[in-house]
Structure 1
């Protein structure tokens, strides 16, 4: 499943970032996220066994959720990600070669940017979705300002410091989606904990849109 499939089904544009997850727990945690309404799941490549965790979740959950990889900072990682069935890649930076290769491999791309120059470089490389990272540094007012100059088709996702407590502020600024890491999952959190946090996050997102 790709991100557009998740969105078309009416699910919230919320990415769960599972940094540090172990392969043996990946499917159970993924199931808890899916049941709570979070259907976009990212495993950063600086986790213990990212390819193994992504592959396990693709096999178990790939028809119900978009499973991808984060911290994709080289074309080799993009190829590894596609090889285990990942459908989207997230990066902390803008590398046109990584964006281009990921698109060639059929994946959605969410490159990370901070400045207008980086945002437009990502757009020029073919990115539609742009990850403002870290989102808390410049805040929601920055999102509102930068959206005024970006192409209308571009979609800004805020990652870093965004969660249930302040998601309404970011939605009001026009953010398209969010990515949530440490406040949703940290190594040691069990599936029940992650599921409860995910349900709270989805409820906050939906309430902010009302």
Structure 2
């Protein structure tokens, strides 16, 4: 990963750790959808490999991706995909599962493995293998109580994103529970939605992220003042 993309990834994870997941997007629509999301403010965008002609979409975006945006593939199940992503300079390697072979190959190609996990065993295996971010999946089914239970055993400096079943209605609950960010699938894009609709939904999700974090920061500040 070149230094520009590395800096963009670090900035995104720090300032706006939200991934737009374009499952089912077609190459003929991906440019307009991508532009709408970037305009809305998204800085990490995933093309799942079970979408129609996904490599064509990834290649199209890689050729025109702004310096402050990071793209890559989701539903990465085979290590061989990592070399192809490295060749395209599309560093996100996002999986639904914990496969040390995929993580190891992503790390060897200097990519950014964001690794799906559900159990503590999977999460710690992913961390040891070199994941830069954990993806709690399916988060909506597991719930914030489950996340709180496993968070205590996870490396404190390893971000965890909640993916699966996250939308405007439950973001605040997850932020309050200590989640570091989100991956949005059907809440930001579904096949058949126009670029304008995707952009509108993307803006609403980012606005909610900022609103709930601002409220949490204000509450923390009030607590510190009360303890002073």
User: Please, what TM-score do these two structures have when normalized by structure 2?
Assistant: 0.88
Whether 1:162 aligns to 2:193 is no
Q: Deviations over 1:15-62 (max 9, x none)?
A: 000011111211111110011011110000001111111111121124
Q: Which runs of 5+ in 2 are unaligned?
A: 215-228
Q: Which runs of 5+ in 1 are unaligned?
A: none
RMSD: 1.5
2:163–2:184 CA contact under 8 A, matched in 1: yes
CA distance in 1, matches of 2:104, 2:126: 10
Whether 1:5 aligns to 2:4 is no
Structure 1 segments of 4 or more deviating over 6 A? none
CA distance in 2, matches of 1:205, 1:120: 27
CA distance in 2, matches of 1:39, 1:128: 16
Whether 1:93 aligns to 2:97 is yes
CA distance in 2, matches of 1:19, 1:47: 6
More helix by share: 2
Q: Deviations over 1:145-204 (max 9, x none)?
A: 211111112111000001121111111111111001112101111110000000000000
Change (3 A) 1:12 1:21: same
Residue in structure 1 matched with residue 112 of structure 2 by the alignment = 108
Range with bigger deviation, 75-84 or 62-71: 75-84
CA distance in 2, matches of 1:36, 1:6: 17
Bigger relative CO (Cα 8 Å, ≥ 6 apart): 1
- Shift in Å at residue 4 of structure 1? 5.2
